[in-house]
Chain A
């Protein structure tokens, strides 16, 4: 029988020269086995022996199991595979009854601050040998001259276009607006040699427009999102139909909310951006089918006020109420009209202390990040009152991107990668005209990221790692989305989308991406009960 050497828990700390792709700073919990961390597992060195014993027990239990274990495994729902001890315990429970208490309760430390960049598109078509290698920023001047000589190969033009975009962005950052302007003209010319129906040509065009707007409107920012709320809703709806990102968001959040509401008879969902309420029919139906019967469901939908006297929030509410009635779910709706999330006060939500509350934020929190890092910034205020509601769950879905960096060039570069990946994924979409309007939706986002500043710039996306830190700091702890949610998200993808999309699990959170680049991340949170708390504790 193979034994392990339990006396030497070897090479415990992360060895400097052989770490994985995480950044070179050591994790704060010094006790974590560095080598297993490099393999993606978090196990404390001091617990290695216990984990080994549990693995042995699991093996024995599986060996004794009369039915085939792949079937039993399908029924088990596993959480956070990085936490080896816990998922082994989940399986042990399936096979052999409850194990001793799971003692590995890690504070989910954010995966460190990597700049993750996707370059899958650069080699989308095979390259011909490059004619313009080794061009550096210092050679901008000769670059201008070279650009008048246009070669026939589209691939070369595509790369050149990217290079010019970067140069132009750098000029904007350093204030050299005259060179930036001439580059805009040159790029516009180059666009005629590039296929603008798909690939780099398409996304480049949008970035050129955004840069132009930024340059010509000065640093005050323009009203890019001049569209009415009504227009925005239409575009959003088409984005929802054309690609799986929003469906994934809704689906994953609903799964987590459903699990959180288990055992509660009065539940209240607060939706930070109701739109057409696309997320909720599925939840209503799932609650209707709940073993033991559905709870009383209250939905509070937040959205912008309707300008023309219509009460669009109420209209959506009525439609949802009709659906709920048809499946025998007791339902109540309340609309809260607010142009900005920070204008919402908790008393407007009329939360009842006896109900289980779910706060649902699909791509809304980043709008609160504003440029000033003051103490009572909108994000802090809002997170604070959410915490005060003591929700059973807060579902957060955000773009997995770093579009809120102070430096313009950095932001621009990130956005170029991110949106070209997203456009690439959209090409796989079959449905017209949804696709065209979905592109306009994305185009508006690009415009906001690139050409707006100050309070006008609301698309301040930050990556999951940053949200983890922020939310932990605000008194929330992560709830893990499990293998069930993962499996269903993956199945959803196969049903609705083209090949190339992938769902990934990362320490309890799920992300959806195109090939290996995550573009949208979903996580779930709960308020940590305050210790010195004079309000009611959970």
Chain B
């Protein structure tokens, strides 16, 4: 199994850094984590056709979102009062993005996620809203989901994000790793509240369960990830005393809630063949199917975690094409 050299260096350095940050007693070296995380500021000057700005959407929790918009030919760099100028178009997809990091790492302004969100703008001709949700272990379940929900309501209520066709905001939810997990739960809450979500895009979503699956045993420690670290992150996120069959972790498990009869959006789920939690991800897809929900599975056999962070492999391009089609098929 071969991975491009720069990808290997990137993911390995994350792995090693993360090993330093997790303490056996369940606490997290947040200072060192923030020191090591490579961050980038927002940029009103368009770069490759995309500009970004940060918005504080909930003062009480300090919830920030970074908004990415395509630059238009007329405005070389938007003015302060034009940041929230209405989107132009009959149908403009708005993707609410939740970054990964196993609920504990990274931020909306992490360089890797800033780059990914910018790509999504270009690929989907969309506005992307990246949510800087509160992280574990300082903020356990349900904080991340609550923040996702707050961001969702905020996006849904922005008149400047409405598509001309029906004066509604066309929302997609997307995320990788823990972000994928959050996207699922926010979608469930949205449909319960009667608000439409047009689609879910889950990249290597983080799910799990008490049982040790075959893929977990087979791939433990082989491709950057260990069962031990997975267990640590769940312990850090889930309420104390709960196990991995909690609904948050295992939505179709023994404590899960059925989605039958609920208008759950169509899903695009990407699974990396070298990801040790793939059995849980595949079980998630199966759970959606059984409940009669539309789901497309992209199983990338030779892909490791994080393959979508650098555009230097075929899996990357395949997935980006599929995402583009998934989002545009509503136009």
Contacts and interface: CB of A to CB of B under 8 A. Distances in A.
Given A133-B85, A515-B64, A2 B8 contact: yes
Nearest to A17: B48
A70 B24 contact: yes
A114 B29 contact: no
A499 B62 CA distance: 8
Interface in B106-163: 109, 111-112, 114-115, 118-119, 122, 154, 157-160
Contacts of B224: 2
Nearest to B79: A166
B59 A124 contact: yes
B94 to A, nearest CB: 16
Given A40-B111, A166-B79, A119 B53 contact: yes
B53 A24 contact: no
A17 B46 CA distance: 12
Interface in A500-529: 500, 502-505, 515-518
A395 to B, nearest CB: 19
A21 interface: yes
B217 interface: no
B31 interface: yes
B5 A116 contact: no
Interface string B1-41: 11111111110110010011111100001111011101111
A9 B6 contact: yes
B118 A21 contact: yes
Interface residues of B, number: 75
A407 interface: no
Contact of B5 (A8, A21, A81): A8
A89 to B, nearest CB: 12
A35 interface: yes
A18 interface: yes
A483 B310 contact: no
Interface string B274-294: 000000000000000000000
Q: Kindly name the residue among A39, A124, A516 whose own CB sees the greatest number of chain B CB atoms within 10 A.
A: A39
Contacts of B29: 70, 73-74
Contacts of B19: 62, 69-70
A interface, how many residues as a size bin? 35 or more
Nearest to B132: A516
Interface in A31-84: 33, 35-36, 38-41, 43, 48-49, 51-52, 55-56, 58-59, 62, 68-71, 73-74, 78, 81-82, 84
B310 A4 contact: no
A89 B326 CA distance: 44
Contact of A70 (B23, B36, B48): B23
A503 B23 contact: no
B9 A3 contact: no
B204 interface: no
Contacts of B32: 73-74, 78, 483, 487
A503 B34 contact: yes
Nearest to A82: B38
Contacts of B44: 115-117, 119
Contacts of A1: 222
Q: Main secondary structure on chain A at its contact with chain B?
A: mixed
Contacts of A518: 41
A413 B64 CA distance: 22
A15 B311 contact: yes
Contacts of B5: 4-6, 8-10, 48-49, 52
Nearest to A487: B31
Contacts of A26: none
Contact of A24 (B6, B24, B48): B48
Nearest to B113: A39
Interface in B65-124: 66, 77, 79-81, 83-86, 109, 111-112, 114-115, 118-119, 122
A417 interface: yes
A535 interface: no
A374 interface: no
A22 interface: yes
A504 B39 contact: yes
A107 interface: no
Contacts of A69: 19-20
Contacts of B159: 129-130
A4 B3 contact: yes
Contacts of A417: 80
Contacts of A487: 31-32, 35
Contact of A10 (B6, B77, B111, B157): B6
Contacts of A490: 30-31, 34
Q: Kindly name the residue among A8, A20, A115 whose own CB sees the greatest number of chain B CB atoms within 10 A.
A: A20
A122 interface: yes
Contacts of A81: 35-36, 38
Contacts of A495: none
B312 interface: yes
Contact of A114 (B16, B31, B45, B57): B45
B111 A38 contact: yes
B22 A413 contact: no
A237 B196 CA distance: 54
A116 B43 contact: yes
Interface in B190-226: 222-224
Contacts of B9: 4, 36, 43, 48, 51-52, 55, 84
Given A91-B20, A122-B80, 18 more contacts: A4-B5, A5-B5, A9-B6, A10-B5, A10-B6, A21-B52, A24-B47, A51-B9, A70-B29, A73-B29, A117-B44, A118-B53, A119-B53, A121-B56, A126-B154, A490-B30, A505-B35, A517-B54
Nearest 3 pairs between A and B by C-beta?
A40-B38, A4-B8, A73-B20
28 contacts: A3-B1, A3-B2, A4-B7, A4-B8, A8-B4, A10-B5, A10-B6, A11-B4, A11-B6, A17-B122, A38-B310, A39-B310, A43-B6, A48-B5, A58-B16, A59-B16, A78-B32, A88-B16, A91-B20, A122-B80, A123-B57, A124-B56, A162-B80, A483-B35, A487-B32, A490-B34, A502-B34, A503-B34
